[in-house]
């Protein structure tokens, strides 16, 4: 099998989030996330697994939707998110946040961890089924979550 990896410096976004575990609710905080994508599969008629330019274009489109947003989980059992009159109200334990709708992205996951963000990005890249795709999302140089299918 052949593979290609893309780690373009433009494949990044800045966003805020928080996590709630059984014992703790993090403060709202932000990261400068970066994305790395690896595709493994057969070569096409042009001798490529997939065109680098197309991989980057797909990733950049997703990054633009997440950049400078508050990332909110849409399927959390511990964080309640409701929308009303152009605002999201977020309840997590004793904390209550209210954000303008245009400043947020609802992620269809139970949390906004790097691993689940990697899966969300993976699902939105839309590569052919015969190509194995691995997406990694870095919160920092040493904190990276990945998803592969």
CA dihedral 59, 63, 65, 69 (to 10 degrees): 160
CATH label of the domain that carries residue 137 = 3.30.479.10
The 10s digit of each residue's pLDDT in 36-76 is 999 999 999 999 999 999 999 999 999 999 999 999 999 99
pTM, two decimals, is 0.94
pLDDT at site 28: 96
Q: How far are the Cα atoms of 22, 43, 103 from residue 126, in angstroms, in the given order?
A: 34, 18, 25
User: Considering its fold, how many domains does the chain have in total?
Assistant: 1
The whole domain housing 123 covers 2-148
Sign of CA dihedral 59, 125, 79, 97: positive
* H-assigned helices in the chain: 52-66, 114-125
Tokens of 26: 């993090």
Q: What does the mean pLDDT of the chain come to?
A: 96
């Amino acid at each position: 099998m052949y593979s290609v990896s893309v780690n373009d410096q433009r494949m990044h976004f800045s966003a805020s989030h928080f996590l709630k575990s059984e014992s703790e609710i993090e403060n709202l905080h932000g990261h400068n996330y970066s994305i790395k994508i690896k595709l493994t599969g057969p070569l096409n008629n042009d001798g490529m697994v997939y065109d680098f330019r197309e991989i980057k274009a797909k990733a950049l489109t997703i990054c633009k939707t997440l950049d400078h947003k508050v990332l909110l989980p849409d399927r959390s059992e511990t964080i309640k998110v409701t929308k009303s009159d152009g605002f999201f109200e977020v309840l997590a334990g004793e904390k209550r946040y209210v954000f303008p709708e245009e400043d947020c992205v609802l992620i269809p996951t139970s949390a906004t961890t790097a691993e689940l963000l990697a899966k969300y990005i993976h699902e939105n890249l839309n590569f052919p089924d015969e190509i194995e795709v691995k997406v990694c999302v870095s919160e920092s140089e040493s904190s990276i979550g990945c998803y592969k299918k």
